[in-house]
Amino acid sequence: MGTRIPSHQLSGGLFVSGRPEQLKERQPTMASRAVPYTGGDIKKSGELGKMFDITVDDHNPSPPPRSSRPPPPSFSSQPNSGSVRSGPNSGSLGVKSSSSGPIQKKSSGPMVPLQPTGLITSGPLGSSAGRRSGQLEPSGSIGKMVYGSSVTSLNEDAKLGFKVSKPVMWVVVVVAVMGLVVGAFLMVAVKNVVILAAVGGILAVAAAVVLWNWAWKKRGLLGFLRRYANAELRGAVDGQYVKVTGVVTCGSIPLESSFQRVPRCVYVATELYEYRGWGGKSANPKHGFFSWGCRHAEKYVADFYISDFQSGLRALVKAGYGAKVAAFVKPTTIVDITTENRELSPGFQRWLADRSLSSDDRVMRLKEGYIREGSTVSVMGVVRRHDNILMIVPSPEPVATGCRWTRCLLPTYIEGLILTCDESQTADVIPV
């Protein structure tokens, strides 16, 4: 008995052997539409704009609303044909409706507005995220600037002193005491006052020299710094004490003046002085009568670069991170409150209020000085070379000026990195 081979007829009338091919169920496809070019406009970017509650401009006509009831299943004359199968588990491929109500949008926190640049950030553009740790934003429009450890705060003025060896001082003291004793003895015993008068004259001359040096101490030092020869960085060796003059540029943290808000500075200083008359209030514990005393001071300096005029090389000046710095910058009087002029400007009143300073009936004077980027500055320090990086650091030992007999000036010493700027605050700086 032979085995019957199944066969079937094709649509063209040809009989072929084998079983007819089973038609697989066609996967449903979702309709797509062309997405228009947005050009960076968030309002035209579809779902991204909806995430940030931005009204989306849809230029395509909206499809007709679908019925909440599913359409009845359709049956085909051929088995397993069509996109819908008939059977107990058959149903519509449309969107299923639910009686649980509209879907509520959930969010884990407040929505951050999208920036004009199109970047999604963790805060607004004015936030401090991404800023360096050295500089912080002021609390108000004229609030006090607060800097980190990378910026040096100069709370005290540069310390200047006389460089005289102790043996010489002891010799002078012993000779003066012996002269006074011998002169007093001869005056009592022999009735001769010549030796006592000579010793008194010598002591008077010595006291005059000391007073002269005390009065001309700063002026003599500035004259020594101006006359000090400039060195060429190209030939400077490691550890050499040099003076470099050139144009300065800001480092990683530019500074800003406190009152005038002058940007991109390497050194800023704002000082409030008060005049004390007879019986007036003192600005500080060392404030004497009939003189000006500093009541409040804000002085800051940070690392910066200097380009040598002679060699053209650029060096990093390490003035930040608590380094000892002696800055000689002539400030300019910004506000002058006298007995005749008692009217305070709104800006000056806010400046005083931000620092909790009273504005009662006092004679005040506000001075401000700064070294702006592009200014010509002279720097005196020690050269350091590390990994092809040329730096100027503070000297570990005090620098003495030497004795100048023509001006009767004793040796004066100063500590730290020395900065001098002779330019006026209103002078034009070199653009960098």
Write down the domain spans for the chain: 164-220, 232-421
Tell me the mean pLDDT per 10 residues along the chain, length 432: 67 74 59 55 60 56 49 43 40 41 45 44 38 40 74 83 75 83 81 81 86 86 90 90 94 93 94 87 86 92 93 93 92 85 81 86 90 94 90 91 81 90 62 56
Whether 143 contacts 352, CB under 8 Å: no
In terms of Cβ atoms closer than 10 Å to its own Cβ (0-12, 13-18, 19+), residue 176 is middle
Q: Which residues pair with 8 in a beta bridge?
A: 16
* pLDDT computed for residue 72 by the predictor: 47
Whether 242 contacts 317, CB under 8 Å: no
* pLDDT computed for residue 312 by the predictor: 87
* pLDDT computed for residue 422 by the predictor: 78
User: Rounded to an integer, what distance in angstroms lies between the CA atom of residue 247 and that of residue 252?
Assistant: 17
Element containing residue 219 per DSSP (H, E): helix 217-227
* pLDDT computed for residue 412 by the predictor: 86
Please report, as a single letter, which amino acid is at residue 380: M
State the Cα angle at 263 between 254 and 225, rounded to 5°: 70
User: Rounded to an integer, what distance in angstroms lies between the CA atom of residue 211 and that of residue 207?
Assistant: 6
Q: Which residues contact 422 (CB under 8 A, 6 or more apart)?
A: 330, 376
The single residue listed with the structure tokens 């040099």 is 242
User: Rounded to an integer, what distance in angstroms lies between the CA atom of residue 21 and that of residue 6?
Assistant: 12
Element containing residue 167 per DSSP (H, E): helix 166-189
